[in-house]
Structure 1
């Protein structure tokens, strides 16, 4: 155990190495090296007043993400895959927009590494999707994936993972359908459901049991709002979802979707 911790400490103390960003955009694949992105003609210095990962103002060298997504159309769907298996599902339209919110790929310079995300943790690099003016377009925390290794174009979630779909007969304005959209935005980056999804980070939310089956309703809401208030565990990675991120009405819809899917484990 001492050797393991010593090795971890050594690895964390080593300089940040240059990295490669993989873009898999259908028939077009491109690999960008750190140095290439830092020297990109449209790279610039940006300030992020309320950084999601670091929870403080940050300054980055970054490239507008849209210029790297050549050929991608607003109606298409992308996925950012992190080094640890976090897989963020992202509709392309906000990433391609010039405003009011704008998406940037922040690039970590190995000569000037970013701060660690916490004790015994790495930085948010090598590549981090950050936003300027995010509140103007209601950008959520889950739309700030960090430690990105690959961005790829995929079919929409509904096509790739039919096991996630609620009952087809539900009305278009049923809260369960809104809950499904919120599940994709807030939960799918870390969890699978019915074995469906690309994430390799958190447990399945329906098999063998759905959290609505083993949590009392009040405690499940408390857990989603602040996991550490219910289970204090130093290794826990699930973030809390404050009302500023997930309103009470949205949380109701998300829980309605989970409860609905507890009866759809086929």
Structure 2
């Protein structure tokens, strides 16, 4: 290869390295209010602003983002609606609409990664949390779970409630609505369903099924199961472990009892997929 070709390749390589990340798009599938947002459009949104997230769930440090209130993007969505945020890697976060529409207290924001100023990688060899990342200010005010912070978001879709889509998750229908098992089922949807299936039901692609062939309540002693939920790495360690710990601020002790109670109940309601 002669000198001119080498020089051309060097210049092309330098240009590629200096190019910013490409812009992305976010698909909002909200019925008659569906639309697709481009990165550039969101960065020019009339409500876009800089926000500071203290001890960001994914980066484990304070972060500053250009962000738009999620409520400003959910045209036509009502508090009783149910949404699913799907990430580029297939992670599917089940989200009640009501917290996303809050204008005070725990407030949801869509952080937008500017291709000209990319965010740092989540860890060595990994991507950033972009192009879009659902973050919260004052999350403690709403007991916001780590599973309610989906990153690499590609779409947000209005869906039928989980109980309608996946009847295999349902507790005994004879139980009253306010039975502790049903309260535990609501906590399961909020904290577990993004990563785990149960009885083969759910859209998750990451963690193991929590009932088939065995429920963790059958192979963990109750105290060890609670400890595992609080701090997975304290019981099992491996390089690719992804399960976050659920602190008492996120999952109060009473809620943890309810969640384990739901899992115990479902151990008696196995339905093979």
TM-score, length of structure 1 as denominator length: 0.90
Q: 1:16-165, aligned counterparts within 5 Å?
A: 16-165=21-170
**CA distance in structure 2 between the partners assigned to 1:217 and 1:48 by the alignment:** 34
Unaligned runs of 5+ in 1: 1-12
Count of matched residue positions in the alignment of Structure 1 and Structure 2: 254
Contact in 1 for aligned 2:140/2:249 (Cα 8 Å): no
Cα deviation for residue 32 of structure 1 reads 1.0
1:265 aligns with 2:270: yes
Alpha-carbon deviations, 1:63-119, whole Å to 9, x = none?
Answer: 111121111111111110111221111111111121122211100011111111112
Give ranges in structure 2 of 5+ residues lacking alignment. 1-17
- After TM superposition, give the deviation of residue 217 of structure 1 in Å: 2.3
**Alignment partner of 1:246 is 2:246:** no
Asked if 2 retains the 8 angstrom alpha-carbon contact of 1:104 and 1:129, the reply is yes
Q: Are the counterparts in 2 of residues 84 and 201 from structure 1 also a CA contact under 8 Å?
A: no
CA–CA separation in structure 2 for the residues paired with 1:239 and 1:106: 21
Deviation (angstroms), 1:14: 8.8
Contact persistence 1:103–1:130 (CA under 8 A): yes
Give me the whole-angstrom Cα distance separating, in 2, the residues matched to 1:262 and 1:128: 35
User: What is residue 6 of structure 1 aligned with on the other side?
Assistant: none
Other-structure match for 2:10 = none
Conserved? CA contact 1:80–1:145, under 8 Å: yes
Task: Return 214-223 or 13-22, whichever deviates more.
Answer: 13-22
What is aligned with 1:204? 209
Question: Per the alignment, in what secondary structure is the counterpart of residue 239 of structure 1?
Answer: coil
Shift of 1:15: 5.2
Pairwise CA RMSD = 1.7
| Distance in 1 between residues matched to 2:187 and 2:179, nearest whole Å | 13
Residue 133 of structure 1 deviates from its aligned partner by 2.2
TM-score, normalised on structure 2? 0.88
Distance apart, 1:26 and its partner CA: 2.2
Per the TM alignment, residue 59 of structure 1 is displaced from its structure 2 partner at its CA by 0.6
SS in 1 for 2:34: strand
Shift, 1:172, TM fit: 3.1
TM-fit CA distance, 1:219: 2.1
Offset at residue 171 of structure 1 (A) = 2.9
